[in-house]
Structure 1
Amino acid sequence: MNENTENTRVSRRKLLKGGALAAGATVAGSLAAPAVVAQSPVVVKMQTSWPASDIWMDFARQYVERVEAMSGGRLKIDLLPSGAVVGAFQVLDAVNDGVLDAAHTVPVYWYGKHKAASLFGTGPVFGGSANTMLAWFYAGGGADLYRELTQDILKLKVYGFYGFPMPAQPFGWFKKPVTKVAEVNGFKYRTVGLAADLMQRLGMSVAQLPGAEIVPAMERGVIDAFEFNNPSSDMRFGAQDVAKNYMLSSYHQASESFEFLFNKDFFDDLPKDLQAILKYGVEAVSTSNTALALNAYSADLQKLQKDHGVVVHRTPKEILDAQLKAWDQLIPELEKDPYMKKVLDSQRAWVERVVFYELMNSPDLALAYDHYFPGKLKL
């Protein structure tokens, strides 16, 4: 930590504590005079891992709107896009160091610090969806395991909260449709985290790139195919200009949520009610993010097809089966690390119990959809 960073923290602590004293003095002095001393809002410097034009910035803006409204203006979030202060993959370090107060990101972006980061969103799919695994984080022990990783193992001065269970990420964008595992052998492919290990098992060579670098990499031939996340983000950065075959459905990243990071010193210095607003605002925005995603992703998928000539495919069962078998090979290697085995054991136990209920209780939605909209599904 440098001297400037420490001075910033100290001055912010003085501001917060001074504001509380000023408020008390105002109450005490109100008997003598009606004057009110206005307290300046606490500014939260938050950077995302997304370009300014990405729909995920819209998701982050929804969080900003809710936090500022719930705090009655006592919190103001200075929301910045990727690259404004640090790169997309460097936000965790910046929050830890106090360069940023907060970040809106995904844990897989700091997978290089510890592979277990990928287990909090982009790990093996035992049968649970992103909803299932977000529930594991909050009710199945995941939050405690996350704290152990970030604070005990990696000694990071951060808090992390999770929100918005993402729809499963597509297999991605290809110049030609692929129907068999053998056809992807030798592909240069963009993904991140443990998905990189997974795709290497399918014979691909992998480049881990932030979203803004994907299309230029395709144009230069650095990669042959790629995935990012969803139809809206993909369309906004021009995926349709470099490939026309969009393969939906995959097990490589099927249970991810956003990660909201906060510098521990900054967060601990806040009044308890403002801490609660930042924390539970993540839960509140999860609902609005989901609504925005389902509306935008589905509309933009139609636009990709109708306006840009993109052909949408469902990833063949042979490739999905191969992905599961690749996870089978990876899991024993991951479990050589005692901490990662503890996390995977916790997730398996949760999924075995919870998903049995989910699957047994859920009606066949594809059957109902095909009943009312016959012929649209080509599974």
Structure 2
Amino acid sequence: MNSEKKTSGAVTRRSFLRKGAVAGGVAATGALAAPAVLAQSPIAVRMQTSWPASDIWQEFAQNYANSVQEMSGGRLEIDVLPAGAVVGAFQVLDGVNDGLIDIGHDVPVYWYGKNKAASLFGTGPVFGGSATTMLAWFYNGGGQELYNELTQEIMGLDVIGLYGFPMPAQPFGWFKNEVNSVEDISGLKYRTVGLAADLLQSMGMSVAQLPGGEIVPAMERGVIDAFEFNNPTSDMRFGAQDVASNYYLSSYHQASEAFEFLFNRSFFEDLDPDLQAILRYAVPASATLDHASALDNYSADLQTLINEGGVTVHRTSDDILAAQLDAWDQLIPELEADEYMKRVLDSQRAWVERVTFYELMNSPNYELAYQHYFPGKLSL
């Protein structure tokens, strides 16, 4: 798609308002037709993601745009662009803040380099809550207020952020050889992002933080020995199975992340209230549809990797999982030395302690039922 603003058949809200005085003068003379036509022209909106054009998450972003356009009756016309079209994959926050793009679709850990607290909103310590649990924390447990404090007050950004699709726990990732213990991963050059980099560095790995589109080339050049990105579909689409054959699912390094929708605040607040509402409430609505699509695609593509890609799928060993929890225990006090980060972690702990108690107590043993009806399937 074209990364330039559309100028034919669409106007930006801001350009429309700048012309308001002229239009008002025409209306005063009785010539009402031109302003009426102008007011009905669609508002051109530029939205960029942090994902390659081929990634399933780019499709998720396009689905959000399509639903917004339909609900707005065509008054909002969103051009969805992949990573690099206007700014780099890790610079989406900057692009939205500077008004180069109106909406961004990314994850907060991608701007971890600007403020370490960003990682607490998706890739921080796991206290036992799932990604769905933590999405609920954002909307009902005080998370959104803490996020606004970070972005708007501490960092002084001209952005509004909302959370969408809660991602399933991310795989430990792709390895050329089997890794069953902490000793097996020690010294490996490994790609991850955010606080997970600090975590795994403390466990003896040498960590590089790379955008998704750079992972396979880095693996081919020997810059990294192993990596994680996010899920079977994204991993398969960029060719993870071509550079490694051991795929480890389940990990505590990034157990509860969610999509971040970033809106330039000036752009957003300049819109009519009904258009603001459409943009806002389409975000949590997209979480349900993205989750359904993810379960469908991720599960199907995992089978493709197993049956056609020559990939051996493992669950990460209890030895490595226990070591990850121990490493979080060592890292948390360092994070809590920052007053703001301690308040975020305290809020998350209190939420997980109460909510996950209910979730775990209320949930039957689904594995027992699965093994009953599909015996032997889990013994890969």
* TM-score bin, normalised by smaller chain: over 0.9
Match of 2:149 in 1: 148
> Do structure 1's residue 191 and structure 2's residue 192 form an aligned pair?
yes
* Residues 123-134 of structure 1 aligned to structure 2 (within 5 Å): 123-134=124-135
Residue 377 (str. 1) matches residue 360 (str. 2): no
The alignment partner of 2:255 has SS state of coil
2:192–2:208 Cα contact (<8 Å) kept: yes
1:1-379 correspondence runs (5 A): 12-16=13-17, 37=37, 39-378=40-379
Deviation readout 1:76-97 (Å, 9 max, x if unpaired)? 1110000101110011011101
1:19–1:68: structure 2 CA closer, same or farther, 3 Å change rule?
Answer: farther
8 A Cα contact 2:12 2:44, kept in partner: no
Aligned-residue offset at 1:20: 12
Q: Runs ≥4 in structure 1, deviation > 4 angstroms?
A: 16-23
| Code of the aligned partner of 2:369 | A
SS for the counterpart of 2:127 is coil
Q: Per-residue CA shift, 1:184-243, capped at 9, x if unaligned? A: 000000000000001011100100000000000000000000000000000000000000
Structure 2 portions without partners, runs of 5+: 1-10
SS in 1 for 2:37: coil
Shift of 1:65: 1.1
Q: In structure 2, what is the Cα distance between the partners aligned to 1:113 and 1:36?
A: 44
1:26-56 per-position Cα deviation (integer Å, ceiling 9, x unaligned): 9xx89x99x9636111111110000000011
Change (3 A) 1:14 1:87: closer
1:22–1:37 Cα contact (<8 Å) kept: no
Q: Which amino acid aligns with 2:242?
A: D
Contact 2:105/2:261 (8 A) holds in 1: yes
State the one-letter code of the partner of 1:322. Answer: A
Distance 1:332 1:283 in 2: 33
Q: Quick one: distance in 1 between partners of 2:355 and 2:251? A: 21
Distance 2:85 2:323 in 1: 40
Partner of 2:179: helix, strand, or coil? coil
CA distance in 2, matches of 1:146, 1:44: 24
Asked whether the equivalents of residues 216 and 239 of structure 2 are also in contact (C-alpha less than 8 Å), the reply is: yes
Counterpart CA distance in 2 for 1:20 and 1:109 is: 41
What is the alpha-carbon distance in structure 2 between the residues aligned to residue 19 and residue 43 of structure 1?
17
Q: Aligned AA for 1:311?
A: T
Partner-residue secondary structure (3-state), 1:183: helix
- Give the residue type in structure 2 aligned to 1:333: E
Runs (5+) with no aligned partner, structure 1: 1-9
Change (3 A) 1:185 1:16: same
Secondary structure of 1:304 counterpart: helix
Given that residues 44 and 75 in structure 1 are in contact (C-alpha distance below 8 angstroms), is that contact kept between their aligned partners in structure 2?
A: yes
Asked whether the 8 Å contact 2:50–2:88 carries over to 1, the reply is: yes
Kindly provide the CA deviation profile for residues 243-276 of structure 1, in whole angstroms up to 9, marking residues without a partner as x: 0000000001110000000111111100111011
Secondary structure class of the residue paired with 2:313: strand
Corresponding residue for 2:8? none
**Retained in 1: the 8 A contact 2:13–2:271?**
no
Contact 1:248 1:312 in 2 (8 A): yes
Structure 2 counterpart SS, 1:168: coil
What TM-score, normalized to structure 1? 0.93
Aligned residue type for 1:376:
K
State the distance in 1 between where 2:62 and 2:303 align: 25
Deviations 1:327-379 (A, max 9, x none): 00000000000000000000000000000000000000100100000011128
CA distance in 1, matches of 2:48, 2:295: 24
In 2, the alpha carbon distance for the partners of 1:286 and 1:378 equals 31
Q: Deviations over 1:49-82 (max 9, x none)?
A: 0000001101111101110111110011110000
In structure 1, distance between residues paired with 2:281 and 2:145: 17
Q: Aligned pairs, how many? A: 366
Q: Identity of paired residues, percent?
A: 73
Could you say if the C-alpha distance between residues 21 and 317 of structure 1 is closer, same or farther in structure 2, counting changes exceeding 3 Å? farther
Deviation at 1:284, TM superposition (A): 1.1
